[in-house]
Amino acid sequence: MREYLLTLCITAAVTYLLTGPVRKFAIVAGAMPEIRARDVHREPTPRLGGIAMFFGLCAGLLVADHLTNLNEVFAKSNEPRALLSGAALIWLIGVLDDKFEIDALIKLGGQMIAAGVMVMQGLTILWLPIPGVGNVALTQWQGTLLTVALVVITINAVNFVDGLDGLAAGMVCIAAAAFFLYSYRIWYSYGIEAAAPATLFAAILMGMCLGFLPHNMHPARIFMGDSGSMLIGLVLAAGAISITGQVDPDALALFTGSEKAAVHQTVPVYIPLLLPLTIIAVPAADLVLAIVRRTWRGQSPFAADRGHLHHRLLEIGHSHSRAVLIMYFWSALIGFGALAYSVNSASMWIVLGVVFLSAIGLVLLLLPRFTPRVPVWAQHLVPPRYRRRGVVASLSPDASTPASMTDQAASADPEERSPVTSGLSSVSGATAIGSRSRLTDRGNAGTSN
């Protein structure tokens, strides 16, 4: 575990330290497009954050190759080299897209080529554990097609969800954390070394996301762009392919009594990973809904719009930060819920806990205008938007709105204002402006006469 934590920390440190210089480079290189109709940010922001993430990936693999225990992953498996080859190719395509905005079909072709490169080097699905049947071996063509499909679906799922500051990096980090715990348990609890590459990939992926998040949280100073979103999507897919198609349930049968029992034990994570992943179920659902929505309208499935889940959260009244936290909550609930169920599928407490947390999530989802206020003694521990504001007895210029309400609306974070306070602020401002304009007109008229 210590070597994994060391790899994670070095990956995060390299990514974090390089993101600042990469931001300056992106500004100089002109990788800072104008605001588009579907964007939610207000100022042009540089892209190419994937450059720092890619070098963080390289640093993590390099460090792991020189550690005593993790070196065996490179000695006994070609999967790390396959991951690096595919990641380099998809990263180059993403960099070109961030700068020149290449066609969607070209990007799709590049994603398929990157997946094919990994398949050629051995990172492919060899068999599928099917409930009630057991271990089903796949032919070479079946394994290749399934691997390429899983990589392409995961890349685009992560790419589609990258629409708010910190959203994609945070959700993938949560998914990688759940995946790391699962694969680590398979490796050390059952002694199955085939799960070691997936564990390493998950640790490095967490480091990439954690190192980039401080620069990408709202308000973001830099975006990861397609060079980053497609990269982390590919790394996540590589880990899923490694543990799903490489770990033989026959080895688990030694611990569970039979192959069918082993398959049933791993179903909560194995099968959802193929559809494509439980741990990114929210981005995958967003991907499916986007394809259906655009196809129904007669548009290309890759045509951008403002119909994603995070856009809808903003439309119903959630602030930018709250929408991101809600997406984090659902990703963690699904990912860690599946992880807990895979550990002990017979426990009803896990099911009840997931149901209870789901109810809490629905309440938060349906109360977009609720802003919790903390006690007075804890105000210095929370951000300003959660602190209580004093009430002033004076009235506003229009003598109908309390000044405390207009002051509160003016001082509050624009994204945290409710429609009521925003409307009061705009009405009072318009009244004041109108009064000043009438006085000016009268003054000018008196002067001219």
State the binding site for Mg(2+).
Answer: 159, 226
Instruction: Fill in the amino acid letter for 97.
Output: D
Q: Are 90 and 234 in contact (CB under 8 A)?
A: yes
Tokens 């929505």 -> residue? 293
For the chain, first and last CA: distance in Å?
87
d(CA 349, CA 354): 9
- 3-class state of residue 54 by DSSP: helix
How many CB atoms neighbour CB 439 within 10 A? Answer: 10
Residue 430 DSSP symbol: H
d(CA 327, CA 313): 9
d(CA 286, CA 446): 63
Q: Are 157 and 283 in contact (CB under 8 A)?
A: yes
d(CA 296, CA 284): 18
Q: Are 52 and 169 in contact (CB under 8 A)?
A: no
Phi, psi angle pair for 135, to nearest 5°: -90, 120
Q: Are 153 and 287 in contact (CB under 8 A)?
A: yes
Strand partners, 127: 137
How many CB atoms neighbour CB 377 within 10 A? Answer: 7
Q: Is residue 106 within a helix (H) or strand (E), and if so which, with residue range?
A: helix 104-120
Of 108, 77, 73, 67, which Cα lies nearest the Cα of 90? 108
How many CB atoms neighbour CB 296 within 10 A? Answer: 8
Rg (CA), the chain: 26
Residue 384 DSSP symbol: G
- Residue 179 corresponds to which tokens in the numbers above? 């995946």
Strand partners, 129: 135
The annotated binding site is made up of: 159, 226
